[in-house]
Amino acid sequence: MPNVRRATRDFMDLVASCLTAARIDALYASKWTCQAVLRSLPPLAKLYVLRLLYLDAAVPDKMLLEWIKGDAVAKHKNAVDRLVQLRVFLPEEKILSRKKETHYRVNPKFQEQLRLALSTGLGTPRDPLPPDIAVRMPSAKELDDYATEKWEAWFSSLVNFASPDGPSASTNGFIVQLFQKADLLTSGQDPKITPAGFQFLLLDRNSQLWRVIREYVQYAEARQIDTGELIRFLLEIGFYSVGEPYSMDSLPNSQRNFAEELAMLGVLQLQKGMKDRWFIPTRLATGLSASLSESSAWQTEGFIMVETNFRVYAYTSSKLHIETLHVFVRTEYVLPNILVGSITKESVNGAFASGISADQIIKFLQQHAHPFVAQKVPSVPETVCDQIRLWESDRVRVQYLPAYCYEGFPSTSVYESVVAHARDRNGLLWEDANRKMIVVGGEHHEAIRAFLQNINKKK
């Protein structure tokens, strides 16, 4: 049977994959972590949690099924799987009327803290400093400008690895290591941007943030940092008020180090007075307790206009925006607040060679469409979209489809039976009788697996 590697899609997937059951339970000692987990759940899973929150007994799965419509069974399974994955639900097997039934109980630690959160109301993990201590507070615009400047400084360094001149000598070593861990840069003494790095540049800021935070957490273990404490701090940050000052001295030493590293990302701003130090959450921090599937509170105004003649006008002075557009746009001239260029076959072929797809280019143009054209449907002319896809199809003449490899058959007779069954279904793609290996099309995988299970039952 093939081995399947499941990639983490959001931060809560990472929590479940990198922490043991005991450490996940330890996270639920904080009401802020419990609220962050609740926010991240699918709507149906949230419904289950809130309905069962004040029930101390385990309930059967068939009872949960009575709460949904018949066509929502798949959503029910996804909701329950996520709750079990995060140990919000603890499954119990019970024998009733000689039948084994699965019951679910809300994790007592999660249950206790979420009840506490609902009964004590909203708030922040720590009280902000009084105005007489934190006197040099930035305005909302200044805080946004600070976050943007820090964020773009990070990713301008990534773009620099793609330039002929290479990165500047002042590139932060920690940033380089983090990019290499994320497979955005190649390893070695002379790192270069990878195809994944080019694709990363075209993601929206919320997706970029989550990618970096995931790698930051995974990199923590290699740096001998308590992953559970880091995750708890990251989830709590989302509950602080943007623009309010909070004392650094009230944080444990390890969390102070986390705050200093997050300030490099623009998630926090650090300030210092005569005696006190404090951190100020930016709008980038508000997304840290939400699911990747939710929209970020951080939204940037669009700046790109694309015409039907393939001309591109980008009203921006951001070096990062300009360098990103260089990846697939032929630049004609750049003024202090505008870039003018055009999309050509040669310019997009360079992007395709770097591993970027036509759909990624189109999505980037749509996500950053200027407000003047963003309300139009489509915001990028169809002729331009179609032509970009046609240019890609000229290069990609091979279509990739999912397939499954079967090996390790217990006997020749079983192998031959499976081969015959796969051939009858027109699903056999390849076979090697000497090594007893076959490859079948992805759409036939479930049927072949069921056929194998029936053979095993007969034995």
CATH number at residue 445: 3.30.70.2610
| 278 lies in the same domain as 155 | yes
Q: What is the per-residue pLDDT across 232-273, written as a single tens digit (0 to 9) for each?
A: 999 899 899 999 999 998 899 889 999 999 998 899 999 988
Q: What is the per-residue pLDDT across 322-361, written as a single tens digit (0 to 9) for each?
A: 988 998 999 999 998 999 999 999 999 988 988 889 999 9
Query: Any idea what DSSP says for residue 296?
Result: P
Which of 87-91, 302-306, 452-456 comes out lowest in average pLDDT?
452-456
- Could you say which of 120, 152, 172 is where a domain stops? 120
Residue 364: its H or E element: helix 358-367
According to the model, what pLDDT value does residue 290 have? 52
- The answer as to whether 6 is a domain residue is no
Beta bridge pairs of residue 226: none
Q: Could you give the CA distance from residue 191 to residue 187 in angstroms, rounded to a whole number?
A: 6
- The pLDDT > 70 percentage for the chain reads 92
- The confidence band for 168, taking pLDDT boundaries of 50, 70 and 90, is low
What is the phi-psi region of residue 306: left when phi exceeds 0, alpha when psi lies from -120 to 50, beta otherwise? beta
CA within 13 Å, CB half, 401? 11
- Token pair recorded at residue 359: 């759909």
- Token pair recorded at residue 154: 């990070």
CB 314 within 8 A of CB 325: yes
- The answer as to whether 130 is a domain residue is no
| 325 lies in the same domain as 263 | no
**What is the pTM for the complete model shown?**
0.70
- The answer as to whether 265 is a domain residue is yes
- Domain holding 25, by residue range, is 11-120
Q: Answer whether residue 44 shows pLDDT above 90.
A: yes
User: Number of folded domains in the chain?
Assistant: 4
* Burial class for 366, CB neighbours closer than 10 Å (0-12, 13-18, 19+): middle
Phi and psi at residue 333, to the nearest 5°: -160, 155
How far is residue 143 from each of residues 127, 129, 264, 270, measured CA to CA in Å? 20, 17, 14, 11
| 205 lies in the same domain as 238 | yes
CB 245 within 8 A of CB 238: no
Q: Mean of the per-residue pLDDT values for the chain? A: 86
Residues 363-384, mean pLDDT to the nearest whole number: 92
Q: Which residues contact 133 (CB under 8 A, 6 or more apart)?
A: 245, 273, 276, 278
3-state secondary structure of 305: strand
- The answer as to whether 100 is a domain residue is yes
Phi and psi at residue 304, to the nearest 5°: -110, 135
- Could you say which of 69, 91, 120 is where a domain stops? 120
CB 180 within 8 A of CB 157: no
- Could you say which of 349, 372, 395 is where a domain stops? 395
| 277 lies in the same domain as 319 | no
Q: Could you give the CA distance from residue 3 to residue 62 in angstroms, rounded to a whole number?
A: 31
Place of tokens 């989550």: 210
Instruction: With CA atoms as reference, report the closest residue to 339 among 371, 307, 305, 369.
Output: 305
According to the model, what pLDDT value does residue 7 have? 44
| 43 lies in the same domain as 89 | yes
CB 34 within 8 A of CB 28: yes
- The answer as to whether 194 is a domain residue is yes
Q: 315-347 burial by CB neighbour count: b if 16+ within 10 A, else e?
A: bbebebbbbbbbbbbbeeebeeeebebebeeeb
| 167 lies in the same domain as 281 | yes
| 356 lies in the same domain as 431 | no
- CATH number for the domain spanning 83: value is 1.10.10
- The answer as to whether 298 is a domain residue is no
Residues 435-451, mean pLDDT to the nearest whole number: 91
Residue type, 145: D
| 145 lies in the same domain as 258 | yes
CB 278 within 8 A of CB 247: yes
Q: At what angle do helices 11-18 and 73-85 cross, to 10 degrees?
A: 50
Max mean pLDDT among 341-345, 421-425, 449-453 falls in: 341-345
According to the model, what pLDDT value does residue 287 have? 66
| 112 lies in the same domain as 155 | no
Q: Answer whether residue 293 shows pLDDT above 50.
A: no
- The answer as to whether 292 is a domain residue is no
| 270 lies in the same domain as 149 | yes
Residue 334: its H or E element: strand 330-335
| 264 lies in the same domain as 346 | no
| 65 lies in the same domain as 24 | yes
Q: Could you give the CA distance from residue 78 to residue 422 in angstroms, rounded to a whole number?
A: 30
Q: Answer whether residue 2 shows pLDDT above 70.
A: no
According to the model, what pLDDT value does residue 6 have? 38
Residue 410: its H or E element: none
- The answer as to whether 311 is a domain residue is yes
Q: What is the per-residue pLDDT across 80-97, written as a single tens digit (0 to 9) for each?
A: 999 999 999 999 988 777
| Residues across the chain | 459
According to the model, what pLDDT value does residue 154 have? 80
Q: Which residues contact 240 (CB under 8 A, 6 or more apart)?
A: 124, 125, 126, 246, 281, 285
